[in-house]
């Protein structure tokens, strides 16, 4: 089974509001997590990453939170803009090796005007 999953397949928010996209993982040995954004017809684009020795990491308008106790990862996007509309994937690295990078199915973020 897939170890990385998302709570909601689609998330609709008003432009200017904050968005929170959630991700659950099941492998407590995972030590590296990444969020990717994929716009229609394009390849995934790196947003932000976090290692398991951190709880929070901030980027430009984005924050990733990691709760290792409940194995939960979230991506917060502040003041969402139309350009934020995309599918967001979380991915985890379950220890070394390329095939350890497991992607979830994605959450489609829709920005309402």
Partner 1 sequence: GAGVSQSPSNKVTEKGKDVELRCDPISGHTALYWYRQRLGQGLEFLIYFQGNSAPDKSGLPSDRFSAERTGESVSTLTIQRTQQEDSAVYLCASSLRGVGTGELFFGEGSRLTVL
**What is the binding site for partner 1 (CB under 8 A)?**
2, 31-32, 34, 36, 41-46, 49, 89, 91, 93, 96-106
Nearer to partner 1, 60 or 113 (CB): 60
| Strand locations in 7-112 (E) | 10-14, 19-25, 32-38, 45-51, 56-58, 62-67, 72-77, 86-93, 101-103, 107-112
The strand pair at 107-112 and 10-14 is best described as parallel
How many other C-beta atoms are found inside a 10 Å radius of the C-beta of residue 13? 17
In the complex, least distance from residue 62 CB atom to partner 1, rounded to whole angstroms: 14
In the complex, least distance from residue 5 CB atom to partner 1, rounded to whole angstroms: 10
Nearer to partner 1, 24 or 49 (CB): 49
Nearer to partner 1, 79 or 110 (CB): 110
In the complex, least distance from residue 20 CB atom to partner 1, rounded to whole angstroms: 20
Nearer to partner 1, 82 or 96 (CB): 96
Round to whole Å and give the CA distance between 82 and 14: 9
Round to whole Å and give the CA distance between 82 and 101: 29
In the complex, least distance from residue 105 CB atom to partner 1, rounded to whole angstroms: 4
């Amino acid at each position: 089974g897939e170890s990385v999953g998302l709570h909601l397949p689609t998330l609709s928010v008003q432009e200017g509001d904050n968005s929170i996209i959630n991700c659950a993982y099941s492998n407590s040995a995972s030590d590296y997590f990444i969020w990717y954004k994929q716009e229609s017809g394009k390849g995934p684009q790196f947003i932000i990453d976090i290692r398991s020795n951190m709880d929070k990491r901030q980027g430009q308008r984005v924050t990733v939170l990691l709760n290792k106790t409940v194995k939960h990862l979230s991506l917060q996007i502040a003041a969402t803009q139309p350009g934020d509309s995309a599918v967001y994937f979380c991915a985890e690295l379950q220890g070394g090796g390329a095939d350890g990078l497991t992607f979830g199915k994605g959450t489609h973020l829709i920005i309402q005007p």
